[in-house]
Structure 1
Amino acid sequence: MLRSLVDLALSRNNLTGSIPASIGNLGYLTTLYLHDNQLSESIPQEIGMLRSLVDLALSRNNLTGSIPASIGNLGYLTTLYLHDNQLSESIPQEIEMLRSLVDLALSGNNLTGSIPTSIGNLGNLTTLYLYDNQLSGSIPQEIGMLRSLVNLALSRNNLTGSIPASIGNLGNLTTLYLYDNRLSGSIPLVFNNLTHLTEFDIGGNMLNSHIPEGLCFNGLLVNFTANDNNLIGPIPKSLTNCSSLYRVRLERNQLSGNMSKDFGIYPSLDYIDLSHNNFYGELSKNWGKCHNLTSLKMSNNKISGKIPSDLVGATKLSILDLSSNHLVGEIPLKLGRLVSLFNLKLDDNYLVGNIPPELSKLSNLENLNLAANNLSGSIPGELRDYLKLMNLNLSNNRFGKSIPTEIGQINTLQSLDLGNNLLIGKIPKQIGELQSLETLNLSHNEFFGSIPSSFNKMASLTSIDVSYNQLEGPLPNIKAFQEAPFEALKGNKGLCGNATGLKTCLTKLNNGDVEKKGKKVMLLTVLLVFGILFPLLMVLGILMAFRKKVRNTKNKPSRVNHDNVFAIWSYDGKLVYENIIEVTENFSAKYCVGEGGYGTVYRADLPNGQVVAVKKLHATLDDDWANLKGFTSEIHALTEIRHHNIVKLYGYCSHPRHSFLVYEFLEGGSLGKVLSTDDDIVVFDWIKRVNTVKGVANALSYMHHDCFQPIIHRDISSKNVLFDLEYVAHISDFGTARFMNLNSSNWTSFAGTFGYAAPGIYFSIAMIYFQLNYPCSVCSF
């Protein structure tokens, strides 16, 4: 009864099970639509009996097995849709017999093997979709025979070899997708003939040529994607003048060109990514004239100059990424008008100045990254206006003062990084109110006091770093702190707790009763001392003081008579002196770790477990005055300054027998040692080298501009730059340092390592020359 059926359409139902073999009995069928169901198992061979079939759609099911060879019997077939199933094995050669075929879609399966060369016989094909399979081998030249082809998609396979030049013959192509394969070689120059292309995607391959001219000759190209290749050379003018472009992705290539000249105005452009290339020059003001632009990404290039204020013209911008370039100057105030921004990345540049308060108008901002610049001033409290902010990174700058308590009002914050700044004060308890915070970095600052108890409620926190501050007291009782690696806690004044590498806290008040009891005991003790023992203690104290004075008069060593020289140890200096003499075996050569111009440096492992570096003054009589001058200069300088890129002075000793300075011990050695040691130079990669330069520059900037009296080191050399185990650079050896007088001119004699003159010397000479010819009241060196 149904054998005379012509059209059978059961699509978009919930049909299950297999396609029955009896379907082959419907010999008059011209249309069979079973797509968008849940049919499974294989396509029956009997499908080849439907010789009148014109349209066959079995797509979006769960069909398995191979495409039956009998499908080649369907000589009248114009449409074959088998896409989005689980078909496997290779494309049958018999498919070449479908000479009437117009649309062939086999995408979204597990087909393997190569694309059959016989596919070139399907001269009527307008659409060929083979993407999202596991096809291998090269693209056959025969595809160039499909002169009627409009849409060609071979993406997301394992295709290798070069792109056949014969594709340039397909003059009717509007869509060409070859992305995410392993194609190599060049983009054929004959692609200039594809003048009707609107979509061209070759991203995610291994192509290594120039982009051919003429890709947008007729001004029709809408989408050009060539990311993640090895393309070279400039952007061709046919693309830079292509006003039809809507989406451009060229990131992670080796393209080059001048950013101020090579790009025009694109009225339709929505998205462009030029990141990770070699573009240079200043940003063109034309980008502000792309009024439909929502995403502008140009990170990891060599772009220089200032951020143009004209960008404010791109009012729809939601993503602006200019990170890892050579940008200078201040952050433009007008950026605050880009109210659609939700991702702003300006990190790893050379930006200076403050964070403009106008940026607080960016109420939709979700990610703000200004790290690794030279930004200074205080962190603005207006950050509280970022009600949607999830990630805030201000690390590796020169922000000072304290953390504004307003940050605790950004309830959406998930990541906060303020590491490697000049922040001081106590950590605000409001930080502990950020209940969504997952990662927190406060390392390499000058925070002191204890970590607020409010941190005990931060259940979402998974990663912390509070290393290299002046923190003390117990760790918060949450997993992020208790299971933190020692590297995230070290370098503090006195943190304690059960974490690895920390001392156990001696006492801990757990509840109000214990605290009240302690106060009562303390009060009774005070009354006892003042009411009963105080007179006795006074008499005893006077006697002990008199006895100590007599003993010190007899045994007190002579001290250097020099202004502004003072000890900074708060404990028994005589005991420390004796400990150093003992552990170094009276400065035995086996503890020597280096030698400078006026002293020898020794490693001293003190009885309390602390390791320090001891610079002992040379005892040569001929240059006693020079040694003494360097000795006092270093004490004077290092007691006036404190910076995480300058070596810390713990104390000094001036004695007729031994005079020495005591510093923190930096186990990484000097920059000179690292550069001259084969094993060290291998791990001293580009990132570590850049961080070294930044560290030294930050320290020098601090000494020249942030000290009450500017300090000039006068001997910055590779031997005077020391590393800790994490390759953080520290300037050392201040024996030749000089303080500058802000109220008068300054003149210093030449100083420095023999055979080497630090860059600061030449700058000093230039400034002296300038002053002699153009007198001024203040000159900074």
Structure 2
Amino acid sequence: MASNHEPNLLAILSIPFFLSCIFVSSTGLVAALHSDLLESEGKALLESGWWSDYSNITSHRCKYWPGIVCDRAGSITEMSPPPEFLKVGNKFGKMNFSCFPNLVRLDLANRVGSIPPQISIPPQLRYLNLSSNNLQGELPSSLGNLSQLVELDISFNYFTNTIPPELGDLKNLVTLNLSHNSFSGPIPSALCHLGNLTHLQMDHNALEGALPGEIGNMKNLERLDVSYNRLNGPIPPTVGGSAKLRSLIFRQNKINGSIPLEIGNLKNLERLDVMGGSAKLRSLIFRQNKINGSIPLEIGNLKNLKRLDVSYNRLNGPIPPTVGGSAKLRSLIFRQNKINGSIPLEIGNLKNLEFLDLSSNVIAGSIPSTLGLLSNLTNLRLLDLSSNILGGTFPLEIQNLKNLEELYLSSNNISGSIPPIMNSLRNLIYLDLSNNQITGSISPIMSSLRNLIFLDLSNNQISGPIPSSLKYCEKSSFLDLSYNNLSGPIPLSLKNCEKLSSLDLRYNNLSEGIPSQLYYFLFLLSVNFSYNNLSGCVPLNLPPPPFEFGNITTDSATFKGTAFEGNKNLHPCFLNGLLPSKTNRNISSYHHHFTSIKIFLPITTISLFLLCLGCRYLSRCKATQLEPTSLKNGDLLSIWNYDGRIAYEDIIASTENFDFRYCIGTGGYGSVYRAQLPSGKLVALKKLHRREAEEPAFDKSFKNEVKLLAHIRHRSIVRLYGFCLHRRCMFLVYEYMEKGSLFCSLRNDAEATIVHRDISSSNVLLNSESKSFVADFGVARLLDPDSSNLTVLAGTYGYIAPELAYTMVVTEKCDAYSFGVVALETLMGRHPGDILSSSDQAITLKEVLDPRLPPPTNEIVIQNICIVATLAFCCLHPNPKSRPSMKLVSQEFLSPRRSLVGLEISLLELRHPSMHTNIGDITVPS
């Protein structure tokens, strides 16, 4: 028996030995395979050229190569190469992704221009980011094979055609971002079967059709954004099934029908740009769609609502009284709908309300019955009831709106006179009562409205004289009293309103002459005195004013086509002692009376000029002889640049002692010269006027400021290389911009640019690639030790913020205003001039675009134009508090979005505050 069992026992005892041999053999095999894998990954990385600068440290790629993450075994799991690695040449096609079996995250955002079609994306990927590239064509349906994907981001590209339904096979997907492309067609219903999806963004495309009814199947969905598309049809009631929704955005589509009550089931909803019933809702916006029907009574259940904007839709019926239940409302905007009835008294319960805009509807009734309880709205800053059919007279209760800054009651049927109680609105900045049936005189409202910037009383039946109390409106920049029955002279007190940029007095019965002071108003861009009974002369030999008179000569007996047309007793003339600017004018009487002045004045002037020139020549020669040699050693100057080797002699030699031939511009603080150093480097030298050196505090302040500017490094600010400060010679050394200023580029001329402290098209410079740079950054502060409070107004007229003219305080919002003018000038190809304050509702954005360029047809270009125009008019708001900061403007441009408007929108609408409520909540806090 024993002998029969011995072989079996021997076999059993030998099993561990064989197993250990197999284990040793398999371990060696695994190690060999792993070594081959790492070698294969390293070879693929080097051959791609992405990390070519790190080829000498291949054994430590997991530790030292940027954008590489490995697992514990050293195999690559994440890849996000720095953008500059891929943008040199076409390196993307050289990467063999099949060599990375453990790669789960691939981030190529803003890195590649295009992806070759032969590239195979690793199927095991869980995170794929291809956003912000130039990817075009159809989105490949093969993406549906990446079954492990959790996040997919292809936003900010140029994909076209339809969204492939195969994306519905990505069952593990949690985040899907298809925004900012050019997808068209309907939303695939297959996407609604992605049960794990929490974030779905398809905004800023050209999607059409109705929202899928299966949208409620996405039970985990928290954010749905389909804004800025072409979707139509009603909002499906099934949307109420996505109970976890926190953000639901339908803005800017063609959605119609009524708002489904099922949205009230979304108890976690925090943001809704259509309609909602969540108690947590703070902001409700569904502007510029085609939603019709009445406003739901349930709106009053939104107890935490602070902002309600349903403007630019087709809503009808009355405003429900229940709106008074949203006691925290700060902004209520129903602009441009078909709302009728009267203003509910319950609005008077909204004691936190700051902005109330019910304009462009068909609201009727008399103001006393509809506006009476607004006396409770003591926080109200903006009240716009314009373009309705309101009648009656002004309510006395309006005097309680102590914080009111903007009041628009234009285009109604308001009658009676302007009550004296308007004087109590001392914070009023904007007042528009135009296009009504107002009678009486202007006098009662002018003595206390000293903050008024905009006053429009045109197209009424106001009579009597223009009151002398206009002198109190020193801040006014816009005054329109046209189409009334005003009589008497233009008051001399109007000279105090020297900040006016627009003055319209046409179609009245004004008499006597035009005050000569008006011809010297430096801010005046638009003026009209036509069709009155004015008399006297219009001087033709004054320096050209900032506004256009029209083509006037001595033969213009009727002033046809000019700002003086329709005044029978007006005639052109020359003021005594001033020479005419055109030789073809008939000035025989002028010659007769001033012959002696014409003979002796030029002789005296030339003699004095030659004497000064001789003295200057002698002093220059003497100064050259006495100049100490220590200048060569830099004892009295500090110059830095890219290599720290600029010498004073090099600068003097390169400009031949600042010879006029090298001068490329002259401004208020000095002249700018082009200099080529011995190294070949081009720089711009700004030689400052000598009078600055006479200020005792200038030396120390100048040095401190220049040191600060020399360390600023910003891609959009012209770099300051250094400076020279000496009693005989002061200059700044700047980076040279080859294409000069934006002003010259727009006008294609060689006029010398004038550089001031404010932003204007003259100090936006263009390099050889037409990239823009802001020039003279901080120079105003350099040249004035107390830069925040000015003693002399400096700047280019037409770009200066209106408040700067009367407060003399420089703030960031002054730059924002100037930027707005430059932005419009870029779109129009000319200075916007009176467009800035025009109240003509017929002028559209399309009509004022640069006529030298073909009309835009590309949708992306049109959207960009509309965005720039909207931001520009936001920056031009007369109230600095309502303008965005330049930081916010920059953020708006860096966050691509589709405009709410089109080229057919009127400029009057673009200026309206309700158009700016989406720009970082500038005007309307949420």
Please indicate the TM-score interval, normalised by the length of the shorter structure. 0.5 to 0.7
Confirm or deny that 1:83 pairs with 2:165.
no
| C-alpha contact (below 8 Å) 1:106/1:129 kept by paired residues | yes
- 2:254 corresponds to: 182
Cα offset for 1:275?
0.8
The CA RMSD measured in Å over matched residues stands at 3.9
Once the two structures are superposed, residues 165-192 of structure 1 have per-residue CA deviations (whole angstroms, 9 ceiling, x without a partner) of 3334445444433233233333334445
Q: Is the 8 A contact 2:288 2:312 kept in 1?
A: yes
In 2, distance between residues paired with 1:105 and 1:360? Answer: 58
Tell me the equivalent position of 1:230: 314
Cα deviation 1:362-398 (Å, max 9, x = unaligned): 4443321111223333223343444443321111223
Residues 355 and 217 (structure 1), Cα distance of their counterparts in 2 relative to 1, 3 Å cut: same
The residue number in structure 1 matching 2:654 is: none
Partner AA of 1:239 in structure 2: V
> Does 2:277 correspond to 1:195?
yes
Q: How far off its partner does 1:64 sit?
A: 3.2
Seen in structure 2, the aligned counterparts of structure 1 residues 250 and 462 have a Cα distance that, compared at 3 Å, is farther
Residue 364 of structure 2 aligns to a residue whose secondary structure is: strand
In the aligned structure 2, how far is the partner of 1:207 from the partner of 1:302? Answer: 23
Residues 321, 83 of structure 1: alpha-carbon distance in 2 compared, 3 angstrom cutoff:
farther
Determine if contact 1:371/1:396 at 8 Å carries over to the other structure: yes
SS of 1:372's partner is coil
SS of equivalent to 1:419: coil
* Larger proportion of helix: 2
Going from structure 1 to structure 2, the CA distance change for 1:208 and 1:400 (only over 3 Å counts) comes to: same
Would the aligned equivalents of 1:392 and 1:416 in 2 still touch at CA under 8 Å?
yes
2:126 matched residue in structure 1: 53
Q: Aligned equivalents of 2:191 and 2:312: distance in 1?
A: 29
- Given the alignment, which residue of 473, 476, 496 partners 1:389? 476
Does the Cα contact within 8 Å between 2:536 and 2:571 map onto a contact in 1?
Answer: no
Amino acid at match of 2:587: L
Task: Return the TM-score normalized by structure 2.
Answer: 0.48
Mapped to 2, the partners of 1:12 and 1:334 lie a distance apart of: 64
1:509 positional shift: 1.5
Report the 3-state secondary structure (helix = DSSP H, G, I; strand = E; otherwise coil) of the residue aligned with 2:187: coil
Distance change >3 Å, CA 493–CA 422, structure 1 → 2: closer
Question: How many Å apart are 1:61 and its aligned residue?
Answer: 4.0
Task: Go from structure 1 to structure 2 and tell me whether the alpha carbon gap of 1:296 and 1:486 turns closer, same or farther (over 3 Å shift).
Answer: closer
CA distance, structure 2, for counterparts of residue 274 and residue 201 of structure 1: 15
Q: Return the match for 1:492 from 558, 568, 579.
A: 568
**2:328 equivalent among 244, 252, 255:** 244
Contact 1:267 1:290 in 2 (8 A): yes
Pick one of 273, 285, 288 that aligns with 1:204: 288
Separation (CA, whole Å) in 2 of partners of 1:145 and 1:159: 20
- SS in structure 2 opposite 1:211? coil
CA distance in 2, matches of 1:327, 1:264: 21
C-alpha distance in 2, partners of 1:251/1:301?
10
**Distance change in 2, residues 1:410/1:208 (3 Å):** same
After superposition, what is the alpha-carbon deviation per residue over 1:78-98, rounded to whole angstroms, capped at 9, x for unaligned? 443333333333222122123
Q: What is the distance in 2 between the residues matched to 1:13 and 1:96? A: 34
Distance in 2, matches of 1:462 and 1:42, equals: 59
Local SS of the residue matching 1:159? strand
Deviations 1:624-673 (A, max 9, x none): xxxxxxxxxxxxxxxxxxxxxxxxxxxxxxxxxxxxxxxxxxxxxxxxxx
Q: Which amino acid aligns with 2:114?
A: E
Q: Mark the CA change 1:75 to 1:8 in structure 2 (over 3 Å): closer, same or farther.
A: same
Q: Does 1:132 align with 2:215?
A: no
Residues in 1 aligned to 2:194 and 2:298: alpha-carbon distance in whole angstroms: 29
Distance 1:248 1:178, change over 3 A: farther
Contact 1:28-1:50 within 8 A present in 2 as well: no
Residues 83, 109 of structure 1: 8 Å contact kept:
yes
Q: Which residues in structure 2 correspond to 1:561-710 (within 5 Å)?
A: none
Contact 1:219 1:243 in 2 (8 A): yes
Alpha-carbon distance between aligned partners in 2 of 1:489 and 1:205, rounded to the nearest angstrom: 45
TM-score by length of 1: 0.56
- How far apart, CA to CA, are the structure 1 residues paired with 2:382 and 2:116? 46
Counterpart position of 1:142: 214
1:41 aligns with 2:114: yes
Aligned residues: 500
* C-alpha spacing 1:104/1:288, structure 2 compared with 1 (3 Å): farther
Give the unaligned 5+ runs of structure 1: 467-471, 498-504, 520-686, 688-781
Aligned 8 A contact 1:177 1:200 in 2: no
Equivalent residue, structure 2, for 1:323:
410
Rounded to whole Å, the distance in 2 between the matches of 1:377 and 1:154 is: 57
**C-alpha distance in 2, partners of 1:75/1:170?**
24
Structure 1 residue 254: Cα displacement: 1.0
1:515 has 2:599 as partner: no
CA offsets, 1:429-488, max 9 Å, x none? 122122332322223322122224476622432779x9xxxxx97659xxxx98x63897
Cα deviations across residues 8-34 of structure 1 (Å, max 9, x unaligned)?
456787963678253745544444444
The whole-number CA distance in structure 1 between the counterparts of 2:96 and 2:320 is 56
Structure with more relative contact order (C-alpha pairs < 8 Å, separation 6 or more): 2
In structure 2, what is the Cα distance between the partners aligned to 1:13 and 1:42? 16
Is the 1:241–1:264 Cα contact (8 Å) retained in structure 2?
A: no
Matches within 5 A, 1:351-362: 351-356=438-443, 359=446, 361-362=448-449
> What is residue 648 of structure 1 aligned with on the other side?
none
Q: Could you tell me how far 1:62 is from its partner in structure 2?
A: 3.9
> Structure 2: which amino acid aligns with 1:230?
R
1:232: Cα distance to partner?
Answer: 0.9
Structure 2 unmatched ranges of 5 or more: 1-41, 43-67, 266-275, 574-582, 598-840, 842-926
CA shift in 2, pair 1:112/1:445, >3 Å: same
Asked if the contact 1:299/1:322 (under 8 Å) is kept, the reply is: yes
Normalized per residue, the structure richer in strand is 1
Q: Please, which of 449, 460, 471 is the counterpart of residue 373 of structure 1?
A: 460
Match of 1:344, as an amino acid?
Answer: L
Match for residue 438 of structure 1? 525
1:420 is aligned to 507
Question: What is the one-letter code of the residue matched to 1:53?
Answer: R
Aligned residue in 1 for 2:434: 347
SS in 1 for 2:204: coil
Is residue 428–residue 452 contact of structure 1 (8 Å, CA) maintained in 2? no
CA distance in 2, matches of 1:11, 1:388: 53
* Residues 218, 201 of structure 1: alpha-carbon distance in 2 compared, 3 angstrom cutoff: closer
Match of 1:117 in 2: 189
Q: For residue 368 of structure 1, what is the amino acid of its counterpart?
A: L
> Is the alpha carbon distance of 1:139 and 1:438 closer, same or farther for their aligned partners in structure 2, counting shifts above 3 Å?
same
Residues 288 and 416 (structure 1), Cα distance of their counterparts in 2 relative to 1, 3 Å cut:
same
- CA positional deviation for 1:428: 1.5
| Distance in structure 2 (CA, Å) of the matches to 1:290 and 1:252 | 23
Distance 1:361 1:254 in 2: 37
Selected match of 1:151 from 192, 207, 223:
223
Question: Judging changes above 3 Å, is the alpha-carbon distance between structure 1 residues 133 and 376 closer, same or farther for their aligned structure 2 residues?
Answer: same
Report if the CA contact (8 A) 2:282-2:305 is conserved: yes
Residue matched to 1:398: 485
User: Take 1:389 and 1:463, find their aligned partners in 2: how far apart are those partners?
Assistant: 25
User: What SS is found at the alignment partner of 2:534?
Assistant: strand
User: AA paired with 1:277?
Assistant: N
Tell me the equivalent position of 1:279.
363
Name the CA distance, whole Å, in 2 between partners of 1:360 and 1:29: 76
Moved over 6 A (4+): 11-15
Whole-angstrom CA distance in 2 between matches of 1:496 and 1:324: 37
2:92 to 7, 20, 25: 20
Task: Note the alpha carbon deviations across 1:185-233, whole angstroms, 9 max, x for none.
Answer: 3333444544224444332233331122324524243443322222110
